[in-house]
Structure 1
């Protein structure tokens, strides 16, 4: 059995403190999420380096817990579902995610704070979307951009932010439905 046969990755910690190592060894064989197991509390207090190994690579995280900026999550409520990915991620049957990449946001820095629009980040993401994105979604996005540039839009509130709305003949042809497509200001389709 290979180490990935039960899931998408192996999550480990690196600890040098002998007391922490001894305490964790006393808890070997029990889930860190089992009721009454304080292993996770010991790990959080030790603030160890986290090591995540997947089929395509290894990531080591040295940020403090809780972190400023980029970080990791090992959340019992999510792990209890025993899923390899969010139910909303459109992966084909039999596939599992090996990594999630989050390109730089053109309007937010690494800590999530607002900043001036960074066109180079927007352009870099658009190139990724065109090359690796779902083809139908990339086409839909191109159609929306073209409609916005042609002035065929109206503004509407969507998820608390102003959004562009366009009636797209391409969308109607692709789906058989004539619907407005609403994108929020981050380019997320929030209603079709």
Structure 2
């Protein structure tokens, strides 16, 4: 091969490497952006869950002792969003909810005694718990995908991640009270009061 041919071959190889690195860097960048969005969405859902729990606690749905425990857990979780203690506070909130709404009989009694407004508060809390689980699962799935991408040799060798921090799961207990999120909820409306 002549010198010109060698130059063309080397140029083509370098161009292919550049395109491959650029494509990989773009994919990694998009994963980081999606992960940041998923984190913000999870925080928003966690904030909504604590707000809904607080609304139930202050809305006359719970007995005074349960209401106090629920308000304390909700406030602690709200204050911890984005901080190191967030997973522990969210776990505590889940535990308090499972205690307060512990049995099917407890939840049935709450539904039976709730007027339309209070039944709406209970339903909102159940929905918020389900959204937290979905957002948490989606976030952790993106963390796993981003970690896999960043472990690839080419990403490490070419330092394609730049200064982006290593993605971490947020490990907390997101299991809601099972009877609170059940799909067979009583109808919300005037019938609720008559069913008591």
Please indicate the TM-score interval, normalised by the length of the shorter structure.
under 0.3
Larger radius of gyration, structure 1 or 2?
Answer: 2
Higher strand share: 1
Q: TM-score, normalised by structure 2?
A: 0.23
Higher helix share: 2
Q: TM-score, normalised by structure 1?
A: 0.23
